[in-house]
Structure 1
Amino acid sequence: MEGLIGFGRDVRAPFACDPAASRGRLYPEPASPTRTPFQRDRDRIIHSTAFRRLKDKTQVFLFDEGDHYRTRLTHTIEVAQIARALARALRLDEDLAEAIALSHDLGHTPFGHAGERALDALMRHYGGFDHNAQSLRVVTRLERRYPDFDGLNLSWETLEGLVKHNGPLIDPDGNGIGTYAGKVLPAAILAYADIQDLQLSTFASAEAQAAAIADDIAYNAHDIDDGLRAGLLTIEGLRSVTYLRPMIEAIEAAHPALEKPRLVNEVVRRLITRLIEDAIGEALLRLGETKPASADDVRAAGRAMIAFSEEAAEGERAIKAHLWRHVYRHPRVMTVMTAAEGVVERLFERYWSDPQALPEEWRKGLDPADNSRRARRIADFLAGMTDRYALREHQRLFDAMPDLG
């Protein structure tokens, strides 16, 4: 048991994770006299190299398109804030919810999902690439800050939440479900499962579920904001989304001469508030029906305890569909992302054909005959790059700065 100074044990719900009852760390460490295990996890994540790199990793728009667009770092901070708000309202462990939120994107590649698509294709013969599995790999292997172990040695509850925040990965028979239906689980997850059982067939804690829905709330809201800022979305176009129309009309009725920047901010603010309040209300209904008496009851409930109502879920799907058509698949964005995929492909192929192009610490211990290990080492190096560093590497290796449109 780690220190509980200043921790309000009396306000936590019975189904919340109890830091005093944590299942511990893979490598035992002395307890902290001033912080719970979940506070320590949060602090370790914030001080990690991978977390700092998020500031120069693309969310949707590249770093050089403007100073006000979200990056992976600003997105992560927004997710953590929303996760903490949900956890407080539902009397969960706020530090655990925040730690999971802060770690959820650590495995993302440069250039957003374009980089992930390219790397997954390049790794198709070597176990593929999955950013969620890579986040686990970052916090259990790739971070090297401590003298006694690789990774951050996070608590069991944080690792479980990181891996399962979107729900169970397998059914009781071991078959992939959800994102992994009909697929083999990513190699990084399978490898870690041999070391520590994260109970991949159950739901995660309520804190992890809060972090997952906070991710949805944050990126729907801020992608609307960034899409409007970039001129890919319009207020008129957003009126076609039934869930948003009354919100926009209410703002215009109350403030008929409101300038566009304030209107946009108010739409985003109200959307975040509405989705948070909906998730809290639906969670209270589900918790009231299920009556979990412990965190393990939440894991065994058979459905998520923190979710949107049917109305909000339908509205959220409509928002995602609108963003998909008008932002993520916009020709301007697609042109840039296609070029970015090419950068990742060329870098991988160069490192594959010429391992001496890798930095010395990434070449160390490589067996030229072990193609699988070599591919994974290259993927780890590439996934850790920021957008800026990937472009500099391309210029170094090919004497040409890529034109991303």
Structure 2
Amino acid sequence: MAKQLGEIGFGYRPRARYACNPARSRGRLFSEPESPTRTPFQRDRDRIIHSTAFRRLKHKTQVFIAHEGDHYRTRLTHTIEVAQIARALARALRCDEDLAEAVALVHDFGHTPFGHTGEDALNEKMAAWGGFDHNAQSLRVVTRLERRYAEFDGLNLTWEALEGLVKHNGPLLDANGRSLAGDVPKSILDYCERQDLELDRYASLEAQCAAIADDIAYNTHDIDDGLRAGLLTLDMLEEVQLPASILKATRRRYPNLDDVRTGHELMRRQITIMVEDVIRTATARLAMLQPRRVADIHNAPTAIVAFSDELAPAERELKAFLYKNIYRHDEVMRVRAGAEQIVLELFDAYFADPNEMPEGWHEGLDHALDRVRARHVADFIAGMTDTYAIKEHQRLFDHTPELG
């Protein structure tokens, strides 16, 4: 195996012809002079890192409420881990590392406070006005809500970065323009009228690297957080194919290793197995497809960057295990119920009286249409950190659920 992976290559190699070439970027919605020192994709990455939305990820929940402990992952630490894995994959597959990193760094910008709980609550409140989708919200953040530049709203990212953000999990429409999985959010369709992101085609190889890096990161690190929180034990993981095989090999080699170090050994070995499997699978698919340009990746009949047929069932089993034993654990569900109450009640309070929102958010909403007011309130709440949402609820209500 080591020889095979060495042949694939982890060192520097020239960019492949099927990779996104920053010198041939499709550009930005608003034209800007090029930088003499950075490629367009490097500028995208830098703009993302320096944005307000990126800093907010520090205090947004991944699975556990942030104040439960300093060692649990937040959206920010998760994002950094995803970016590292995405760059490793992009390097091995000879595509643009900077673009892969940029898509990885921006992929969670639209997440609400309290993770998917907050998203579900906002989606419920926004049901009459197009719903709420974190991926569509990420696009709103980088094209409208970030206000850092004199000449335009948003970050004015390249077409390739925006395409990767919107389609990193695959096409949203089929060749006939029909939705592939539920209605495409209106904000995405509206933006595509200004700049067509080609929703019926696969995203770049770089975006696909970012997408699967997200799966690898949370499949592994949620185990780490679950062990730390006491929701999981190593014995429980022996019932799940992938971690069980790793634990068996680890204990055979290190029979006296303590549980903490055994857990860390599990984490790093699982990441390695998944990353190497993806590289082998993607390399084989590239060899079959023989792409000679970026368009060949966009027009491919399936995703290129994926788990193998052998690993994919084990990865799905692991996801199901984590869903049952962590995401739906009684204690996590108790916290989720309180977090949901906070978001629902904040929405009602701001919708009833927009002046409860700070300056810069409430102006002009007193007589606005309900759909305009509702979307504005959703934008405000979605941008909150967990800690700010709790403080706002404490300001507006006599009793705030205890999330600790």
Matched, 1:79 2:82: yes
1:92 is matched with 95
Instruction: Give the C-alpha shift of residue 14 in structure 1.
Output: 0.9
Deviation for aligned residue 1:247? 0.9
**Which piece of structure 1 moves more, 243-252 or 164-173?**
243-252
Aligned-residue sequence identity (percent) comes to 62
- TM-score, normalised with respect to structure 1: 0.96
Question: What's the TM-score once normalised by structure 2's chain length?
Answer: 0.96
Deviation at 1:260, TM superposition (A): 1.2
Equivalent residue, structure 1, for 2:168: 165
Residue 10 of structure 1 and its aligned partner are, at CA, apart by 7.1
Contact 1:56 1:388 in 2 (8 A): yes
Which region of structure 1 is more displaced relative to structure 2, 12-21 or 367-376? 367-376
What amino acid is aligned across from residue 322 of structure 2 in structure 1?
Answer: L
* Distance change in 2, residues 1:10/1:263 (3 Å): closer
Q: For residue 355 of structure 1, report the CA deviation from its aligned partner.
A: 1.4
Q: How many residues align?
A: 394
| 8 Å contact from structure 1 (residues 392, 401) kept in 2 | no
2:318 paired residue number: 319
Taking the TM superposition and a 5 Å limit, the aligned residue runs for 1:4-403 are 11-177=14-180, 181=181, 183-366=182-365, 368-403=367-402
Question: Could you tell me whether the CA contact under 8 Å between 2:165 and 2:207 is conserved in 1?
Answer: yes
SS of aligned partner of 2:242: coil
- 8 Å contact kept, 2:12–2:91: no
**How far apart in 1 are the matches of 2:283 and 2:125?**
44
Task: Give 5+ residue unaligned stretches, structure 2.
Answer: 1-10
**Aligned-residue offset at 1:9:** 11
User: Higher mean Cα deviation, 222-231 or 184-193?
Assistant: 184-193
Report SS of the residue matched to 2:129.
coil
Secondary structure (helix, strand or coil) at the match of 1:363 reads: coil
Distance in 2 (CA, whole Å) between partners of 1:149 and 1:315 is 46
- Structure 2 counterpart of 1:152, one-letter code: L
Partner Cα separation in structure 1 for residue 54 and residue 16 of structure 2: 30
Moved over 4 A (4+): none
Q: Deviations over 1:303-361 (max 9, x none)?
A: 00110001111111011011011000000000001110000000000011111111121
Structure 1 residues 278, 353: closer, same or farther in 2, change over 3 A?
A: same
- Residue 111 of structure 1 aligns to which amino acid in structure 2? F
What is the aligned partner in structure 1 of residue 6 from structure 2? none
| 1:363 CA displacement | 1.1
- Asked if structure 2 preserves the Cα contact closer than 8 Å seen for 1:19 and 1:36, the reply is yes
- CA contact 1:351–1:358 (8 Å) conserved in 2: yes
The residue type paired with residue 45 of structure 2 is: R
Q: Over aligned residue pairs, what C-alpha RMSD do you find?
A: 1.2
Task: In structure 1, give the amino acid aligned to 2:73.
Answer: R
The whole-number CA distance in structure 2 between the counterparts of 1:187 and 1:167 is 18
**SS in structure 2 opposite 1:185?**
coil
Contact 2:342 2:400 in 1 (8 A): no
| 2:346 aligned partner, one-letter code | L
Q: Distance in 2 between matches of 1:25 and 1:396?
A: 41
Q: How far apart are the structure 2 equivalents of 1:395 and 1:187?
A: 33
Name the CA distance, whole Å, in 1 between partners of 2:401 and 2:246: 42
Contact 2:65 2:403 (8 Å CA) reproduced: no
For the 8 Å contact 2:203–2:297, the answer to whether it is kept is yes
- Partners of 1:369 and 1:82 lie apart in 2 by 45
Partner amino acid for 1:92?
A: C
CA distance in 2, matches of 1:339, 1:220: 25
- Give CA deviations for 1:179-225 in whole Å, capped at 9, x if unaligned: xx2x3211210110111000000000000000000000000000010
Shift of 1:366: 2.4
Aligned-partner Cα distance in 1 for 2:137–2:402: 28
Q: 1:395 touches 1:402 (CA, 8 Å); kept in 2?
A: no
In structure 2, what is the equivalent of residue 4 of structure 1? Answer: none
Q: Which sections of structure 1, spanning at least 5 residues, go unmatched?
A: 1-7
**Superposed CA offset, 1:137-170 (max 9, x none):** 0000000000000000000000000000000000
